[in-house]
Structure 1
Amino acid sequence: MRSTLFVCLLAFSASVPAWAQSTTAPAPPSTTAATNLEGVTVTGVQPGPGLWKVSKGDHVMWVLGTLSPLPDHMQWKTDEVEQTIAESQEVLGPPSVALKPKTNFFGKLFLLPSLIGARKNPDGQTLQQMVPAPDYARWLVLKQQYLGNDRSIEDWRPIFAAVELYDKAIKRHGLTSSGGVKDAVRDLAKKHNVKFTTARYTMLVEEPRTAVKTFKTSSMDDRECFGRTLDTVERDMGRITERANAWATGDIETLRGLPMNDQREACISAVTEAGFAKQLGFNDVQQKAQATWMEAAQQALANNTQTFAMLPMEEVLSPHGLIARLKAQGYQVEAPDGSDAEGVAPAQ
Structure 2
Amino acid sequence: MLLVRSSLLWLALALASPAFAQTAAPAPPSTAAVTELPAVSVSGVQPGPGLWKVSKGDHVLWVLGTMANLPASVQWRSDEVAQTLAGAQELIQPPRVKLKVDTSFFGKLFLLPSAYSARKNADGKTLQEVLPAPLYARWAALKAKYIGRDGGIERWRPIFAAMELYKQALKKSGLRGGGQVGDAVAAIARQHGVRVTSTDYTLEIKEPRAAIKAFKAAGPDDVECFARTLDSIERDLPAIAQRAAAWATGDIATLRRLPDSRYRDACAAALSEAGFARQLGISDVPARVEAGWLVAARRALTIDRSSFAMLPMEEVLDADGYLAKLKAAGYAVEAPDEDDGEDAPAAAGSVGR
Same fold, judged at TM 0.5 (above)? yes
SS in 2 for 1:326: helix
Q: State the alpha-carbon separation in 1 of the partners of residues 12 and 269 from structure 2.
A: 17
Q: Name which of structure 1's ranges 259-268 and 125-134 shifts more when overlaid on structure 2.
A: 125-134
The answer as to 2:201 corresponding to 1:194 is: no
Query: What is residue 277 of structure 2 aligned with on the other side?
Result: 277
Q: 8 Å contact 2:66–2:178 — kept in the other structure? A: no
Q: Which runs of 5+ in 1 are unaligned?
A: 16-39, 341-348
Q: State the alpha-carbon separation in 2 of the partners of residues 189 and 231 from structure 1.
A: 40
Query: What is residue 4 of structure 2 aligned with on the other side?
Result: 4
How has the CA–CA distance of structure 1 residues 13 and 225 changed in structure 2, closer, same or farther, with 3 Å as cutoff? closer
SS in 1 for 2:298: helix
Query: What is residue 289 of structure 1 aligned with on the other side?
Result: 289
1:88: how far off? 0.6
The one-character-per-residue Cα deviations of 1:159-209 (angstroms, maximum 9, x if unpaired) are 111111111011101101225111111121112211211111112212012
The answer as to 2:41 corresponding to 1:41 is: yes
Q: Name which of structure 1's ranges 325-334 and 92-101 shifts more when overlaid on structure 2.
A: 92-101
Map residues 320-339 of structure 1 onto 2, 5 A cutoff. Answer: 320-338=320-338
Q: State the alpha-carbon separation in 2 of the partners of residues 339 and 155 from structure 1.
A: 53
Map residues 38-117 of structure 1 onto 2, 5 A cutoff. Answer: 41-117=41-117
Map residues 1-348 of structure 1 onto 2, 5 A cutoff. Answer: 3-11=3-11, 13-14=13-14, 41-216=41-216, 218-338=218-338
Q: State the alpha-carbon separation in 2 of the partners of residues 230 and 77 from structure 1.
A: 34
Q: State the alpha-carbon separation in 2 of the partners of residues 56 and 179 from structure 1.
A: 30
- Identity rate, percent: 57
Q: Name which of structure 1's ranges 262-271 and 316-325 shifts more when overlaid on structure 2.
A: 262-271
How has the CA–CA distance of structure 1 residues 273 and 123 changed in structure 2, closer, same or farther, with 3 Å as cutoff? farther
SS in 2 for 1:337: helix
Q: Name which of structure 1's ranges 45-54 and 120-129 shifts more when overlaid on structure 2.
A: 120-129
How has the CA–CA distance of structure 1 residues 121 and 215 changed in structure 2, closer, same or farther, with 3 Å as cutoff? farther
Q: 8 Å contact 2:6–2:268 — kept in the other structure? A: yes
How has the CA–CA distance of structure 1 residues 224 and 138 changed in structure 2, closer, same or farther, with 3 Å as cutoff? same
Q: State the alpha-carbon separation in 2 of the partners of residues 104 and 303 from structure 1.
A: 40
How has the CA–CA distance of structure 1 residues 122 and 213 changed in structure 2, closer, same or farther, with 3 Å as cutoff? farther
1:121: how far off? 2.5
Q: State the alpha-carbon separation in 2 of the partners of residues 305 and 141 from structure 1.
A: 55
Q: CA RMSD in A?
A: 2.2
Q: 8 Å contact 1:119–1:157 — kept in the other structure? A: yes
Q: State the alpha-carbon separation in 2 of the partners of residues 319 and 299 from structure 1.
A: 23
Q: 8 Å contact 2:52–2:333 — kept in the other structure? A: yes
TM-score, L = length of structure 2:
0.84
Q: Which runs of 5+ in 2 are unaligned?
A: 16-39, 341-353
SS in 2 for 1:3: helix
1:241: how far off? 0.8
How has the CA–CA distance of structure 1 residues 315 and 44 changed in structure 2, closer, same or farther, with 3 Å as cutoff? same
1:339: how far off? 6.1
TM-score, L = length of structure 1:
0.85
Count of matched residue pairs: 317
Q: State the alpha-carbon separation in 1 of the partners of residues 203 and 298 from structure 2.
A: 22
How has the CA–CA distance of structure 1 residues 121 and 288 changed in structure 2, closer, same or farther, with 3 Å as cutoff? farther
